[in-house]
Amino acid sequence: MALLDLDLTTPDGVLQYLSNTSFASRSATRLSGGTANFVYRIHLNAPYERKSTLVLKYGRSFLEIEGQWVPFDIARQRFEAEALEAIREWVPSDSLVTVPTVHLFDDANHVLIMDDCGETSVTLKALIRARNILPHVAEHIGRALGEFIAFVHSRGAEQSHEFLRLFASNEQALSISAWATYGRARETLDGSAGLAVLADQPLHIEKGKLDKVGAVAEAVIEKLKHAEEKFVMGDFWPGNVLVTLDGEDIKSIQVVDWELAKTGIPELDIGQFLAEFYLICRFDTDARVAAAETARAFWHAYRNMHAIDRRAVTKHCGVHLIAWTPRVPWGGKETTRGVVMEGVEMMCREDVDVSDPTKLFLPESLSYPVRIVSLDADVGNVTRGDRLLTYSFAYLPANPSPDAQPETRFGTWDCPVDGELTAWNVKPGEVISRPKARDRPAVLVTEECTHGEQIAGMCALCGKDMTNVDYLGVSDTSRASIQMTHSKNGPTVSREVAERIEREANEALLKARRLKLIVDLDQTIVHATVDPTVGEWIAEGQAWEAKRARLEEKAAARAAAEESGEDIDDSDPEEELEECNPNWDALKDVKKFRLGPELLAPTNMRGRHIALDEGCVYYIKPRPGWQEFMNNMSAKYEMHVYTMGTRAYAMAVCNVLDPDGRLFGERILSRDESGSLTQKSLDRLFPTDQSMVVIIDDRADVWSGGLQFWSPNLIKVVPYDFFVGIGDINSSFLPKIPPLMPQATPPGKAPRDKPPIPTPGKPEENLKDADVELRAQTLEAQMEERPLAKKQEALQEHEEAAEGGDAAASDDEHSSTSSKSGKKIPPLLTNNDHELVRVGKLLDEVHTRFFIEYDARKPASPKKRKLGSQEPERHNVPYDVKRIIPSIRASVFQGCHICFSSVIPLDIQPESHECWRIANMFGARCHATLAPEVTHVVAGKQGTAKVDEARRRGNIKVVTPMWFKDSVNMWQRQPESRYLLDPTPTSQGATPPDTDMEALGDTPESDEELLVTGEGVQLELNDVDWADMDAEIAQELGDDDDLDDGEEDEEFSDETNSEITSATPSPVRGQKRSRSVTPSEVGADGPRSSPLAKRKKLAADRVGESPLKAGITAGDLTVAEAKVASGSRSKAGSRAATPVRRVNGSRASTPRPRPSRPGSVAGDTDSAMDSEDDGGSQNAEVDDDFLHSFEDELEAELDLGAEVEAG
């Protein structure tokens, strides 16, 4: 056709071009193009060979990139037309996969007209990512494509020399293929390409690997120049595959865009195709199943039809990941960087085809000992399922008769892998015991691939399906079970691969002089609540700020008018600026976000129709100093988030703290990916080497430390309790999604009465469902009961009462923010936390010590340290945080010999108690008795034998438990002078005036959560019947359990909340995970003598026995003072609710008697108190009038003691 002067880049030009041909059309719809080609779907005026639509492709002789024209030889169209014509002849007529038929090739006007796949056709990449393709359909497509390209490669290599020379002349295709991948690999990695996604921080790639990538690229490019014997497609990827579906039926598959067809290396076609599916699996987890099925079926089909160099395929997969991932907007920055590094590993790997022999061990399930009867496989090739050996064993039935004799039976062992059997380690006649079978491999098999890296059930190295389970009962997925990425569905690796990856990552960090830091979120870096009161206070503060600004603006305008002599408009009433919400200053940096109901609970807990306004608003308060802390630590540590919150919650909080991903990137691990609902594990992220990993967390109980009690990597943080009394919002789960129709509450049962009890089923599912329900109840209580508003009101009333003034009645709607008395309202929330400064200093010290030791290592050592190795030398390396952190801890009480008194219960072995173990961990030597070397007695009360003896000696410091707790919290020994146990009754156990006991340690989330822990027993006070307790107290008063002076008077002390339980602890209904303590639960106050104690002693003398082991008082108040303070009292056994309030970070609540509280019965009577079955000894009778009077006095002191303690 003659050259026409038409603009074929527009639909009108195309229609004009077609008007005088057999392809005259009524419309032309542009499908794609603009860079080099323009592709249109043309709707014919009349059918052409029974087709109503065709595709027109117009090409230009240049590429238009960012406004610049780059030459692009139009001769490419000739290669495409020739390739399509040839392949149509090669492919069988019944093939599901075809190529378009060319109906017109107009070389003069650069036009190709070919078949149209149909208006419903989509690219395979779009189809997979649309997530609407079933796995079996994806498998069918993959298998068909594998067979197709294998057929093309095979037939192409059989063509004539003229055919191959024609495509070898497509030098432009050769240069583009080489440049687009191998030509850009080095510049991508070294940063010279200037890619934004890799620009923030350079990739830490050791020079050896960078040079290796460059060498591989140069070698492949050189090989491409001389590859003239095999025909390849040149651009085989899912975007060039068009699929037409009819439901689940595949109507057609066409492979298009053959402009880069040439002679080359077939493995490059395969590598490019598989790399694209690898990227889909890494970035689009919802599409990973279909992508993996397609890739797996494709690989198997191709290998069955065509020989292939798997090493070359792996290299090209790697270079594709390097060159294309950062240039195509696949997803997050951190994942992109990670995939690029995975590409480096693929390019540098040398062990794809040759590996060390696999050691095969006899199964644990055999009836040992066994005798080897015969070796049934010779040295050479073996396949999975081949018989390896026959063995015999002695068999006895389960209930043999007395004269039964063992029966000899036989069994066989089949090969679990494919490969080459290289050596036997057993011989016929040898007897194998269980230990020998466990320690010594029976046979060595060299495998073609060890399947050490897997993704979506497919080997990432060879493409084998790892999920197949045959009669052997074991799938190959177990060979790569370690998940090292932060995503839930990332690739898994074997231990050998994990060691190599971690070793190389650590080497890169060491060169940058950085360590790894795992950061917890809740109560470590932030504090969160869902109490709507916070939102209202923020709104009030913002309104107050706006009003102040308005008044200041008016005042400035008035001043300016007065100065200029202008008339002033006095018509507007003068506004007054009322007092601001007292908590506004502390709330200015609080952020909020909403999690919708689809992110709060599993779908089976929700109705089908959710209102738009449902969900939960979270208020997040960053810890003071967090920005400076994070900026400083990011220069010295690679930071990872590890939280027990959900993924949605973790991402939302990190978006507040790190909106640009500079600090954490995508290194975020939540409970959804952790694998456990109750524990955190370093092995989840760093399975083979934890020597460079530091943890900061407010809880130690979630990190297993093995024999060291706490994890040796842990720096425990004092919990951040900004929203007073809220605690850790993720120690429960997320709000319960309400049903569409309200459910009636059974009579006599209150909502949220008890936590759910798991029903029989899968344990993990039951635990998760119960946890979801419990956490939902907790957050619902916050949202509905508004505890902060109640605490603010109680605080205000307490302050007014303390000042002696009459409390003005406050408005119901604004009681928390205004006062009619005009007095300044005290704030409930304050910004007085400085914990991150202390933690930052500790982290700096760890970093400094590590690199001092690292720099001092012996360079001439014959064995270089291999990170992650299990060799004995590994544990002697000094540059290991697992050695450094415990050594810092141990320096706190170095040289101290501690004896506890009235701190550890009598019914617990002292060595197993938490205080004892923590003291040892922080460098102290503990003693059960007052040995000569004891330097400190940590006493919970006065008057014990140990306290008296220590004072008699004179060289022993007798301190309150607060000294121990504060020293542990601060990781620094505190001066004893501030914590001495005052011998005078009026100040025993007093807390140092500038010490906030609650702020320095872990505090229970509510009064009801205090646990008294004995050996294997935990008591949750939610279920305590206080009336019964009163009755028991009265009953116990007649018991005889007085101790001799020489016996140790050890008791539960204030707020003892040990985590030590027996190996099989008793279940506790509704119990939350107990907070690990730096013994913040060890109290400082002990009992004091009082008139009431004398009355009890008198009662004991009257019956000849002592009914109580210690006095029960509430400070120095007399019984008469208690009666006056408490007013009228109810009869014995009743209890009036007395408000107890704390200021500056304390809780406000209605008290209940607590075991182990100063001045309480449980605190002043021995935990081992004996009780007679009949209620008391016959000799221990006290007249009823005295007992009733005593009970009233006791009750008054208990209640008033709680008030005094709170005040």
Residue 486: CB partners within 8 Å, gap ≥ 6?
640, 666, 667, 668, 669, 673, 685
pLDDT value at residue 153? 95
Q: Looking at per-residue confidence, does 1025 or 33 come out higher? A: 33
pLDDT digits (tens, 9 = 90+) for 703-746: 875 556 789 999 999 999 999 888 887 765 433 433 333 444 44
What region does 833 belong to: left with phi over 0, alpha with psi -120 to 50, or beta?
Answer: beta
Q: Is the pLDDT of residue 670 over 80?
A: yes
Could you tell me the two tokens for 834? 């400085």
Question: Which one is predicted more confidently, 1094 or 484?
Answer: 484
pLDDT of res. 890: 95
Q: Which of 405-409, 776-780, 1030-1034 has the lowest mean pLDDT?
A: 1030-1034
**DSSP bridge partners of 482:** 493
Alpha helix (H) residue ranges in 91-199: 124-129, 135-157, 161-168, 171-180, 182-190
Give the tokens for residue 731. Answer: 């120690």
pLDDT band of residue 948 (cuts 50, 70, 90) is very high
Contact 444, 463 (CB under 8 A): no
pLDDT beyond 50 at 529: yes
pLDDT band at residue 878 under the 50/70/90 scheme: confident
> In the numeric block, which tokens belong to residue 1047?
């016996």
Query: What are the pLDDT digits (tens) for 438-456?
Result: 989 999 998 878 888 787 7
CA distance 559 to 319: 72
The domain defined by 1-115 folds into Phosphorylase Kinase; domain 1 (3.30.200)
pLDDT reading at 1000 higher than 80? no
Please report which confidence band the pLDDT of residue 349 belongs to, taking 50, 70 and 90 as the band edges.
Answer: confident
Q: Write the secondary structure of 344-381 as one string of H (helix), E (strand) and C (coil).
A: HHHHHCCCCCCCCCEEECCCCCCCCCEEEEEECCCCEE
∠ CA 1174-1177-1182, rounded to 5°: 105
| CA atoms of 80 and 107, how far apart (whole Å) | 12
> Which of 278-282, 495-499, 863-867, 969-973 shows the lowest per-residue confidence on average (mean pLDDT)?
863-867
Q: In whole angstroms, give the CA distance from residue 1196 to residue 744.
A: 41
pLDDT at 1128 over 70: no
Q: Which of 951, 865, 850, 934 is nearest to 897 (CA)?
A: 934
pLDDT of 775: 56
Instruction: Give how far Cα 665 sits from Cα of 101, 196, 336, 1108, Å.
Output: 48, 14, 11, 61
The pLDDT value given to residue 966: 93
Give the pLDDT band of residue 1025 (cuts 50, 70, 90).
low
**Segment 938-950 mean pLDDT:** 93
Beta bridge partners of 55: 41, 114
Res. 921 pLDDT band, cuts 50 70 90: very high
Of 399-408, 443-452, 575-584, 1141-1150, the one with minimum mean pLDDT is 1141-1150
pLDDT of residue 1054: 35
Digit-coded pLDDT (tens) for 899-919: 999 999 988 899 988 899 999
pLDDT tens, 787-811?
888 888 888 888 878 776 554 444 4
Q: What is the DSSP letter of 976?
A: G
The alpha carbon torsion through 765, 769, 772, 774 (nearest 10 deg) reads -130
Predicted local confidence at residue 1185, as pLDDT? 44
| Residue type present at position 1074 | S
User: Has residue 1033 got a pLDDT over 70?
Assistant: no
Whole-Å CA distances, 1163 to 115, 947, 1078 = 90, 17, 21
Q: Is the pLDDT reported for residue 44 higher than 90? A: yes
The percentage of the chain sitting over the pLDDT mark of 90, rounded to a whole number, equals 41
Give the pLDDT band (50/70/90) at residue 615: confident
How many CB atoms lie under 10 A from the CB of residue 525? 25
* pLDDT in the model for residue 97: 96
Quick one: pLDDT at residue 782?
66
Amino acid at residue number 575: E
- pLDDT per residue as tens digits for the range 354-365: 457 888 999 989
CA–CA distances in Å: residue 1185 to residues 360, 1034, 1037, 1161, 1190:
82, 13, 14, 20, 9
Q: Average the pLDDT over 1022-1033 and give the result.
A: 49
Residues 6+ apart with CB under 8 A from 396: 404, 406, 407
pLDDT computed for residue 859 by the predictor: 62
CB-side neighbour CA atoms (13 Å) of 630:
22
Highest mean pLDDT among 467-481, 644-658, 1137-1151: 644-658
Q: Is the pLDDT of residue 773 over 90?
A: no
Is residue 925 predicted with pLDDT exceeding 70? yes
Asked whether the CA dihedral 323, 329, 330, 333 is positive or negative, the reply is positive
Least confident of 43-57, 63-77, 406-420, 1153-1167: 1153-1167
User: How many angstroms separate the CA atoms of 319 and 325, rounded?
Assistant: 10
Statement: residue 139 has pLDDT above 60: yes
Look at residue 33 and tell me whether its pLDDT is greater than 80: no
* Tokens (6 digits) for 744: 């009636």
In this predicted model, which residue has the larger pLDDT, 306 or 1095?
A: 306
What are the residue ranges of CATH 3.30.200.20 in the chain?
1-115
pLDDT at 140: 95
Closest CA to 585 of 527, 544, 628: 544
SS3 47: strand
Spot the catalytic one: 116, 257, 522, 1030.
522
Q: Phi, psi (5° rounding) for residue 855? A: -70, -25
Contact between 892 and 715 under an 8 Å Cβ cutoff? The reply is no
| pLDDT in the model for residue 1189 | 46
Residue 149 has what pLDDT? 96
Which one, of 309, 316, 303, lies nearest residue 150 by Cα? 303
Q: Is 376 an annotated catalytic residue?
A: no
DSSP 605: G
Q: Is 764 helix (H, G, I), strand (E, B) or coil?
A: helix
- Indicate if the pLDDT at residue 1094 is higher than 70: no
Confidence of residue 558 (pLDDT cuts 50, 70, 90): confident
53 pLDDT higher than 70:
yes
Tell me the pLDDT band of 777, cut-offs 50, 70 and 90. low
Q: How confident is the model at residue 1124 (pLDDT cuts 50, 70, 90)?
A: very low
Q: Note the pLDDT of residue 1089.
A: 44
In the predicted structure, residue 849 carries a pLDDT above the cut 90:
yes
Residue 517 token pair:
């830091």
522 is catalytic: yes
More confident residue, 177 or 867: 177
pLDDT confidence tier of residue 217, bands split at 50, 70 and 90: very high
pLDDT at 524 over 70: yes
What Å distances lie between residue 488 and 74, 494, 684, 1021, 1177, CA to CA?
47, 17, 11, 38, 64
pLDDT of res. 1015: 36
Radius of gyration of the chain (CA): 39
Q: For residues 175-195, give the mean pLDDT.
A: 90
DSSP string, 149-179: HHHHHHHHHTS-HHHHHHHHT-HHHHHHHHH
Q: Measured between alpha carbons, how far is 653 from 659 in angstroms, rounded to an integer?
A: 9
Identify each DSSP E strand in 588-709 by its residue range: 591-595, 616-622, 637-642, 668-669, 693-697
* Coil vs helix vs strand at 804: coil
What is the C-alpha separation between 137 and 116, in angstroms, rounded? 22
Residue 674 has a pLDDT of: 84
Please list the residue range(s) of the chain that carry CATH number 3.40.50.1000: 513-559+580-679+692-699+713-739+755-806+823-859+874-883
Residue 282 exposure: Cα atoms within 13 Å on the Cβ side: 27
Q: What average pLDDT score do residues 992-1003 get?
A: 36
Q: Which one of 106, 520, 689, 728 is the catalytic residue?
A: 520
- Amino acid 771: pLDDT: 58
Q: What is the mean pLDDT of residues 196-211?
A: 79
| Rounded average pLDDT over 977-994 | 59
Q: What is the CATH number of domain 513-559+580-679+692-699+713-739+755-806+823-859+874-883?
A: 3.40.50.1000
If one compares 464 and 418, the residue with the highest pLDDT of the two is 418
369: cis peptide before it, omega within 30°? yes
Across the chain, mean pLDDT equals 76
> Which pLDDT score, from 0 to 100, does residue 568 have?
65
SS3 of 1005-1061: the string is: CCHHHCEEECCCCEEEHHHCCHHHHHHHHHHHCCCCCCCCCCCCCCCCCCCCCCCCC
Q: Would you say residue 161 has pLDDT above 50?
A: yes
Position 461 confidence tier, pLDDT thresholds 50, 70, 90: confident
Average pLDDT over residues 503-521: 91
Q: Six-digit token pair at 724?
A: 């007073």
pTM of the model: 0.59
Q: Residue 1028: which pLDDT band, with cuts at 50, 70 and 90? A: low
The predicted structure's pLDDT at residue 1030 = 52
HEC sequence for 211-258: HHHHHHHHHHHHHHHCCCCCEECCCCCHHHEEEEEECCEEEEEEECCC
| Mean of pLDDT values over 30-45 | 86
pLDDT > 70 in the chain, percent: 70
Average pLDDT for residues 212-226, to the nearest whole number? 91
Query: CA-CA distances (angstroms) from residue 60 to 27, 84, 174, 433?
Result: 22, 20, 19, 76
Which pairs count as long-range contacts for 1174-1178, CB under 8 Å and 24+ apart, including other chains? 1175/1035, 1175/1038, 1176/1035, 1176/1038, 1176/1039, 1177/1038, 1177/1039, 1177/1040, 1177/1105
